[in-house]
Structure 1
Amino acid sequence: MTFEDWVRPHLGAMARLAARLAPHADRDDVVQESLARAWLKRHQYDAARGTPAAWLLAITADQARKAARRFRGTRAEIPDDGVAAEWDARMDVRRAMRQLTGRQRLAVDCYYFAGLSTAETAAVMDCSVGTVKSTLSDARLRLRDLLAVTG
């Protein structure tokens, strides 16, 4: 199997994770950097330690964090096209996500936005499945509090 065939099934998840972790960076650039890094380190992949998806997404998470650090301080543009209510709802979720710990954000991004299993998320986070489940539970409780509708 070629490297291209090996990574192709995971490109969508890599792109989603890159977009979540580095929203101001170019998602495709982050994925390309991740693929270049994976190519250079392909001899280090160990199937006994995790799935190809988890290995590739761990590299993507690392590259996305680097890209996000380069773009700190930039502001997203607020659209002015009549979708204010939808924008407000998305901003509330973004605002709430920013209030989670870094570990909670990574777990939520991997599990809910990149569609990884708890085992794959554990491999990306370099922790146990139980820790992922606990982290996700804590994150859900925190988000529930932060997004509570009053009135």
Structure 2
Amino acid sequence: MTGGPVAGVTVPPGDGPGFAQWVRPHLVAMARLAARLAVGADRDDIVQEALARAWSKRSQYDASRGTPSAWLLAITADQARKAVRRMRTGPSLSLIDAPDAAPVSRPDLDARMDVDHAIMSLSERQRLAVDCYYFADLSIADTAAVMGCSEGTVKSTLSDARSRLRTLLEVTE
């Protein structure tokens, strides 16, 4: 076996190199989700904690219940929520609290600020749909329940929001 999920395999590879190869295609998505869900926390720490958790729980992975990506992202989301809780209950030390700290400018932070700004430019209904579906990882049906509308309305709202975001972010494909 050379890597990646294989049809019929219900658990990730049990050895270190096999596991690393199995998770590698999902690392970028894990990092993005961690950064979105735990603003202010170290996304790399969250991903590392998620990988450690996935390693310890690898025998519980069941391909019939979902893809490796969905399984790993669910673990990442859980670790991000834990990081947020730790930040809320831990000592409060931030760049704002340190008067001598120089402002930090990172390309990933700047890009994220652009996306966050673009999302804030959406209508309230579009923002709610985007947050529920993309950031809270709710299904279309669950998003419809939160928004109090039909699934078709959610799909239409998300389509309009994506179109608006493409314009705001000048994304060309």
Q: TM-score, normalised by structure 1?
A: 0.59
Give the alignment's Cα RMSD to 1 decimal: 4.3
Give every structure 1 segment of 4 or more consecutive aligned residues whose post-TM-superposition deviation is greater than 2 Å.
69-77, 86-97, 103-107, 129-144
Residue 107 (structure 1) aligns with: 133
Residue 60 (structure 2) aligns with: 44
Residue 114 (structure 1) aligns with: none
Equivalence map 1:8-87=2 (5 Å): 8-72=24-88
Shift of 1:35: 0.4
Q: Which amino acid letter does the alignment assign opposite residue 63 of structure 2?
A: A
Distance 1:74 1:95 in 2: 27
Higher relative contact order (CA 8 A, sep 6+): 1
The higher radius of gyration belongs to 2
Aligned length: 125
Q: Which has the higher helix share?
A: 1
Q: 2:34·2:76 contact (CA, 8 Å) conserved in 1?
A: yes
Shift of 1:23: 1.5
Gaps of 5+ in 1: 111-120, 145-151
Gaps of 5+ in 2: 1-12, 97-102, 106-110, 145-150, 164-173
